[in-house]
Structure 1
Amino acid sequence: MSRDLVNEMSAAQPGAEWSDPWGGGHDCWKVGGKIFALVGAQGKHVSVKTDSVETAAFLIETGVAERAPYLHRSWVALPLDSAPDELAHRIRMSYRMVRASLPKKVQATLSGS
């Protein structure tokens, strides 16, 4: 799995927008102004939101992910060389949770489901 493929998966989410808010080569993917996926400047992991601190802890304990630095405990960092289906699933789930948390008016302005 490469950074390019993670960016491709993230870009495919309806209403996804890319930015580099801190400069230095970060790939920050947002929906409605909120982050759902983040690849740091060093590009070894993609950080995504999980549904709970417990899910994040489980993924960390089982070796699927690491703690995502600088983010809430419900976020995890998956290595870019993780199984492609795992990465795709986690990016989609993170996107869906973040999108669902947006105000209904903002959600209505976004394309796709």
Structure 2
Amino acid sequence: MSRELVNEICAAQPGSEWSDPWGGGHDCWKIGGKTFAVTGTQGTHVSVKTDGEEIANFLIETGIGMRAPYLHRSWVALPLDSAPDELAHRIRQSYRIVRSGLPKKIQAGLPPVV
């Protein structure tokens, strides 16, 4: 899977916004101002949020992902050449987790999830 395909999946999430907050070529995808996926300047991995540290540790222990640098332990970095369905699932799941954690007022102003 390529960086472009990751960006397509992220852009398809309702209300998602792209930014490069640190400069230098990061792809940072947000919903309601909160990050749900980020690809660094190297472009080898996409970091996504999981349901918690246990899930993140499971993904790391099974070799699906690795510890996401600079982020909380509930985040994992998945190689861009991961199985496309696994990568798409993890990006969508990260989006849902982050979106559900937003204040209800912000959630109410977002496009509906299909």
Q: Whole-Å Cα distance in 2 between the matches of residues 62 and 88 of structure 1?
A: 18
Q: CA deviation at 1:108?
A: 0.8
Equivalent position amino acid for 1:8 in 2: E
Q: CA deviation at 1:112?
A: 2.0
Question: What is the count of residue pairs matched by the alignment?
Answer: 113
Equivalent position amino acid for 2:62 in 1: T
Q: Whole-Å Cα distance in 1 between the matches of residues 54 and 97 of structure 2?
A: 16
SS of the aligned residue for 1:86 comes to helix
List runs of 5+ in structure 1 lacking aligned partners.
none
Residue 92 (structure 2) pairs with residue 92 (structure 1): yes
Structure 1 residues 53-90: Cα deviation after superposition (integer angstroms, max 9, x where no partner) = 01000000000000000000000000000000001100
% of aligned pairs identical?
Answer: 77
Q: CA deviation at 1:37?
A: 0.2
- Structure 1 segments, 4+ long, off by >6 Å, are none
Scaled by the length of structure 2, the TM-score of the pair is: 0.98
Q: Whole-Å Cα distance in 2 between the matches of residues 14 and 101 of structure 1?
A: 15
Q: Whole-Å Cα distance in 1 between the matches of residues 55 and 111 of structure 2?
A: 29
Q: Whole-Å Cα distance in 2 between the matches of residues 61 and 98 of structure 1?
A: 23
Report the equivalent of 2:24.
24
Alignment of 1:1-113 (within 5 A): 1-113=1-113
Q: Whole-Å Cα distance in 2 between the matches of residues 89 and 58 of structure 1?
A: 16
Q: Whole-Å Cα distance in 2 between the matches of residues 9 and 66 of structure 1?
A: 21
List runs of 5+ in structure 2 lacking aligned partners.
none
SS of the aligned residue for 2:51 comes to coil
